[in-house]
Amino acid sequence: MRSEASVLHLDLDAFFAAVEQRDKPSLRGKPVVVGGTGGRGVVATASYEARAYGARSAMSSGEARRRCPPGTAFLGGRFAAYSLTSRVVMDLLRELSPLVEQVSVDEAYVDLAAGGHALDVESLTALAHDLKERLHTATGGVRGSVGIASSKTLAKIGSELDKPDGLLVIPAGSELDVLHPLPVRSLPGVGPATGDRLSSVGVRTVADLHERSLTDLVTLVGQAHGSGLYRLARADDDRPVVPDREAKSVSAERTYATDLTDLATLEHEIGSLAQRVVTRLQKDGTAGRTVTLKFRRYDFTTLTRSQTLTQPFDDVRTVADVARRLLAGIDRTGGVRLLGVGVSGLATYVQGDLFAEDPEPVADLEEDIDAVPEPEAVRAVPVWHPGQDVEHAEMGRGWVWGSGLNRVTVRFEGPRTAPGPVRTYAGDDPDLSPADPPDWRSDG
């Protein structure tokens, strides 16, 4: 908690629906629901007109249809438009401060102290008012709610309390006055499960929470969550505004209109999910070490299976092969409602121009790189993927990082100058064809 209200939280109001209403004037003033329109769809965003009829985020689309009147627009979503509009807003925020932490397409924190702004309540109110107006103009009609307080949590609660089109400054010193009357469920991080546990011991408001001892709370909801709640009840939150957080995992999943049972179909679906994940991995110039398969049965029971490999990978074949092997160990009786494929344990690599004259130094990126020499060449080499039959090796392009006798170390070509997935094969001819596989091995 800072001594001044210098953290701003912006939350765009009914964002997806607002963009639709902006682009289609006939939808303005009418209930609009954006989300999955199929039999198993859920609501992503309901306009405030639709909320008046009881439509809510995460509700099944069927339920929303039942609640909303005829004439309600049910739309599938145009994510390119949302993302473009989001960028306009985030650019405006970056004019306020170099420290902007984007949480999602429609939400961000801004460190106003880092932007050198006057932090008295009057100035902050004027700043927020001005931001809201500029945002509305720049986006062509989207509105947002702003909270400004001495911490991220309080700023977020502030924007939430005055929605929609809100503006709430919580002056330093008044945090507990705002916090204590609120239901615990309104604290970020307190969902249905924690809410029920707290309620079962008579904790309903933040004031109730404030009366409980640290040990009580830790016993009730665990170490991390318990101490977090203890601090929250005291407005004790000093988390910094952090721009550009690195992603820790990448995943893709799909719920099928009807449950899948056929193994060949499941394996095919895993292939297309793996492709989606790998496309993003490669675009980000990153690679991962762990593949996770997510599996939801016909009855909604959900399980995950994962496997960690010794080397990072960023190719479809590895991801798909590992995921298919994980699938083989799962009882598929009754049918599969959802499949997901994820990659985690991401390693971050320096992006750079492949042919830059003065490449980024790679030596100190990771300890185990120290011994690796500069790449000698980029050339076509056979590429083997962990878990793959040697017979199915392909030709690929890779950086050759040192070819010794009977041994060539290859890194995948990609937008990076630092270590990526390493594939080594033994053999004295670096131009061996896949039809004539050498004695393959995977090795650092």
The site for DNA, by CB under 7 A, has a size of 63
Least distance between DNA and beta carbon 288 (Å)? 11
Q: Which helix H or strand E contains 144, and what residues bound it?
A: strand 144-149
Q: Any catalytic annotation for residue 20?
A: no
DSSP letter string, 282-344: HHTTEEEEEEEEEEEETTS-EEEEEEEEEEEE--HHHHHHHHHHHHHTS--TT-EEEEEEEEE
Q: What is the DSSP letter of 420?
A: -
Residues 7/150, Cβ–Cβ less than 8 Å: yes
Exactly one of 78, 94, 117, 280 binds DNA (CB under 7 A); that residue is 280
223 binds DNA (CB under 7 A): yes
Residues 161/183, Cβ–Cβ less than 8 Å: no
Least distance between DNA and beta carbon 403 (Å)? 28
Does 262 appear as a known binding residue? no
Q: Nearest-5° angle of CA 370, CA 375, CA 381?
A: 125
251 binds DNA (CB under 7 A): yes
Of 76, 2, 90, 66, the C-alpha closest to 43 is: 76
Exactly one of 258, 261, 265, 308 binds DNA (CB under 7 A); that residue is 308
- Catalytic choice (107, 175, 269, 413): 107
252 binds DNA (CB under 7 A): yes
Q: Which is nearer to DNA, 44 or 167 (CB)?
A: 44
Does 11 appear as a known binding residue? yes
Exactly one of 202, 213, 300, 367 binds DNA (CB under 7 A); that residue is 300
Stretch of 110-118, 205-213, 334-342, 431-439 lying at the interface with DNA (CB under 7 A):
334-342
How many angstroms separate the CA atoms of 111 and 99, rounded? 5
Other CB atoms within a 10 A radius of the CB of residue 282 amount to 18
Site for DNA in 129-148 (CB under 7 A): none
Q: Decide the pairing of beta strands 439-441 and 73-75.
A: unpaired
248 binds DNA (CB under 7 A): yes
Paired tokens of 186: 């309104």
Q: Which residues are annotated as a binding site for Mg(2+)?
A: 11, 106
* Chain contacts with DNA (rule: CB under 7 A): 35-42, 44, 57-58, 60-62, 65-66, 103-107, 156, 187-195, 222-225, 247-255, 276, 280, 289-290, 299-300, 302-308, 337-338, 340, 342, 344-345
Residues identified as active-site: 107
